[in-house]
Amino acid sequence: MIDSDTALERCGDLVARARRAGADAADAVARADSSESVSVRLGELEEVDRSESESIGLRVFVGQRSASIRTSDFSAAAFEELVERAVAMARLAPVDEHAGLAPEDKLFSGAVPDLDLSDTGEPDPETLRAAALEAEDAARAVAGVTNSNGGGAGFSRAVVALATSHGFAQGYGATGHSLHASVVAGSGGKMETDYAFRTARHRDDLPSAAEIGRRAGERTVARLNSVSLPSKPMPVVFDPRFGNGLLGHLVDAMSGPAVARKASFLIGRRDELLFDPAIRILEDPLRRRGLRSRAFDGEGVACVPRALVETGRIFGWLTDAASARQLGEPMTGHAARGGAGSGGVSVANLHMEPGLVSPDELIADIADGVYVTGVFGQGVNGITGDYSRGANGFRIVDGKRVGAVSEITIAGNLLDMFRSLTPANDLDFEYATNVPTLRIDGMTVAGS
């Protein structure tokens, strides 16, 4: 697999060719990935997978017209053909008054900080196989587990590079280690399944394979003998594994491109008190070993730590160059770029600060509620904020989690949900987006 210097050379070469072919401006982004994974089932090796890929995408601007195209052929002839096609496409594209590269004064400059994203060690297939077996064995050893969907371990390495015609040229590399296990409990028509999964930049940041397996087994067995619930309003408590999805809906609504399209339920509410004033939601793109750490975004703009929500209000919109121009807003370092297409926005490492009470204290006064450990379905309207998703978890009775529940729907409106949200104090940094246990009163639960 190529290194970041080679990726940068290719990007620079492609941009230079585009300028010579008549593009007024251009940028190129290259990505190389390699991955290896081993999966087992019922103690037997099931699959060993190894993959490598390299691609480069070119975006050209001819006046206020633009086009983008991607290739995995890095020969000189392929680059010439790619450039000719891209420039020809741009000349035929409609005029977009907001098109263009990010302004030079907003670009990241200096040396890329050492965010410690690359692990020097690379596990061999036998090491991955042993970890996968250990995870599955630990899950199957939990009393009540009757079958297995399998266990797995993996390692990946990636290189990203970006070069622009106004002088930006930077790249970086990162690694990823992963462990997972998924098992089945029960039999016949009363079977349940669940899983545990973790990923990290460095192997020593992962829990042990045995711990991953134990979590998968215990979560699965806990779901046995589930029942539905009567339909009525009640408090809903979100496990951190799935509560982080609420921040995903917030980020989608704060997206500059969505706001520019009038497709966000936050339009007109930028200065409104959306959360309790004590709640803070923070982004830290410079976190060492973070799963989404980066010094610059997909257009070369510097990424900076910031509070997305403070004193109950959002800071503004998450922008790329085009949406910033369209909205008359500052650039925030949130551009996302693939190899081709117009891109969009994305956040780096995100978390909600913990509250003041433990999870047990958070639910202590709930006479009848539900603790959600799984959600599914796509019932979220980004324009109105209406929220309705299938869920499973546990019933809360007199402040205690009791039997498992399934086949229910939880519904509300995200604006109302944000206002009534209360966090516990159990924040842990396991994912790219992290939240503590969250309580939301007054949601509608629909069951039998």
Q: How would you write the chain as a 3-class SS string? A: CCCHHHHHHHHHHHHHHHHHCCCCEEEEEEEEEEEEEEEEECCEEEEEEEEEEEEEEEEEEECCEEEEEEECCCCHHHHHHHHHHHHHHHHHCCCCCCCCCCCHHHECCCCCCCCCCCCCCCCCHHHHHHHHHHHHHHHHCCCCEEEEEEEEEEEEEEEEEEEECCCCEEEEEEEEEEEEEEEEECCHHHCEEEEEEEEECCHHHCCCHHHHHHHHHHHHHHCCCCECCCCEEEEEEECHHHHHHHHHHHHHHHEHHHHHCCCCCCCCCCCCCCCCCCCCEEECCCCCCCCCCCCECCCCEECCCEEEEECCEECCCECCHHHHHHHCCCCCCCEECCCCCCCEECCCCEEECCCCCCHHHHHCCCCEEEEEEEEECCCECCCCCEEEEEEEEEEEECCEEEEEEEEEEEEEEHHHHHHCEEECCCCCCCCCEECCCEEEEEEEEECC
CA 232 vs. chain centroid, Å, equals 32
Is the confidence at residue 215, as pLDDT, over 70?
yes
Residue-wise pLDDT tens digits, 56-86: 999 999 999 999 999 999 999 999 999 999 9
Per-residue burial over 72-88, b = 16 or more CB atoms within 10 Å of its CB, e = otherwise: eebeeeebeebbebbbe
Is the confidence at residue 340, as pLDDT, over 70?
no
Task: Say which CATH superfamily domain 4-221 falls into.
Answer: PmbA/TldD superfamily (3.30.2290.10)
Among the residue ranges 205-209, 226-230, 264-268, the one predicted with the least confidence is: 226-230
Alpha carbon separation from 341 to 47, 101, 108, 126 (Å, rounded): 34, 14, 23, 40
Closest alpha carbon to 72 in 5, 157, 10, 9: 10
Averaged over 188-207, what is the pLDDT? Answer: 95
pLDDT grade for 269, boundaries at 50, 70 and 90 = very high
Is the confidence at residue 101, as pLDDT, over 80?
yes
- pLDDT value, residue 342: 66
Averaged over 290-308, what is the pLDDT? Answer: 97
- pLDDT value, residue 448: 75
pLDDT grade for 341, boundaries at 50, 70 and 90 = low
Residue 286 has a CB neighbour count (10 Å cut-off) of 16
Can you give the residue ranges of every domain in the chain? 4-221, 226-448
Is the confidence at residue 20, as pLDDT, over 90?
yes
- pLDDT value, residue 379: 87
- pLDDT value, residue 332: 97
pLDDT grade for 121, boundaries at 50, 70 and 90 = confident
| Cα–Cα distance for residue pair 162/296, rounded to 1 Å | 10
pLDDT grade for 51, boundaries at 50, 70 and 90 = very high
| Cα–Cα distance for residue pair 35/23, rounded to 1 Å | 36
Q: pTM to 2 decimals?
A: 0.94
Is the confidence at residue 213, as pLDDT, over 70?
yes
- pLDDT value, residue 40: 98
What is the token pair recorded at 100? 């263009």
Residue-wise pLDDT tens digits, 397-447: 999 999 999 999 999 999 999 999 999 999 999 999 999 999 999 999 998
Please check whether residue 216 is in contact with residue 132, taking contact to mean a CB–CB distance below 8 angstroms: no
Residue-wise pLDDT tens digits, 236-251: 999 999 999 999 999 9
Query: Mean of the per-residue pLDDT values for the chain?
Result: 95
